[in-house]
Structure 1
């Protein structure tokens, strides 16, 4: 298990780092900009917005980002999911997700094995050790 854990981490480490950085940035950018789009003038704030497009029934429509932090978050989402790199990017993103699941289970398994070995050798059986 340790051998697989090492080899898969060598292959997917860069992609998982990319996913972690873009995911973190996509959460930080809205916080830094206040989570709002471009500032509205008093006239815009006082008049209710009339939708220019009404989504037809049985469809799920998402509004497009309108500049500012929203467009940056949209870009970060496309980079994070791999959509910017086409089908190959999406495939690598999906495989990286499976790799993260594998790392979670194999890391836990390796920790349990180390804990059992320490207990069997009559060493201090703690959750954390030096």
Structure 2
């Protein structure tokens, strides 16, 4: 199990790091503060031609995102691999499966090492050097 864990991590580590980075950037862009529009900007907003606001509703045109928030879609496409076509999506899915494998095999390796230490009556610690 250790051999597979080690060799797969060499290959998939790069992709998992890329996926983690784009995921963080995507969330960072969503959490980026958006300034509230001023009264003059709100007054200048006009609905598209032919649009009538239903009675009793306060209508305004959709906001156009600026700054980092405008990159959310791009980061999502990078994160999911869609930006690189079917091969990118496949690599993204395989990287997700590899991440699940690393989590499970890491726990498996740790438990086996812990049981081995326990069998040898070594100093009982959860973490060791």
State the TM-score bracket (shorter-chain normalisation). Answer: 0.7 to 0.9
RMSD between superposed Cα atoms in Å: 2.3
Change (3 A) 1:16 1:65: farther
1:124 is aligned to: 123
- Provide, for residues 71-108 of structure 1, a one-character-per-residue CA deviation record: whole Å limited to 9, x for no partner: 21211111111111011100000000000010110000
Q: Out of 32, 36, 40, which is 2:37 matched to?
A: 40
Comparing 41-50 with 106-115, greater Cα deviation is found at 41-50
Aligned equivalents of 1:116, 1:72: Cα separation in 2: 48
- Provide, for residues 12-71 of structure 1, a one-character-per-residue CA deviation record: whole Å limited to 9, x for no partner: 11000101111111222333x31x3x652314547833468xxxxxxxxxxx97333222
1:56 is aligned to: none
2:107 is aligned to: 108
Shift of 1:129: 1.7
Aligned equivalents of 1:12, 1:114: Cα separation in 2: 24
Tell me if 1:49 matches 2:48: no
Contact preservation (8 Å) 1:65, 1:74 = no
Contact preservation (8 Å) 1:83, 1:90 = yes
Q: How does 1:1-130 map onto structure 2 within 5 Å? A: 1-31=1-31, 33-34=32-33, 36=34, 39-45=36-42, 48-50=58-60, 66-130=65-129
Question: Secondary structure in 2 aligned to 1:127?
Answer: coil
Paired positions, count: 116
Aligned equivalents of 1:72, 1:49: Cα separation in 2: 26
Structure with max Cα Rg: 2
Q: TM-score, normalised by structure 2?
A: 0.77
Structure 2, unaligned runs of 5 or more: 46-57
Shift of 1:124: 1.2
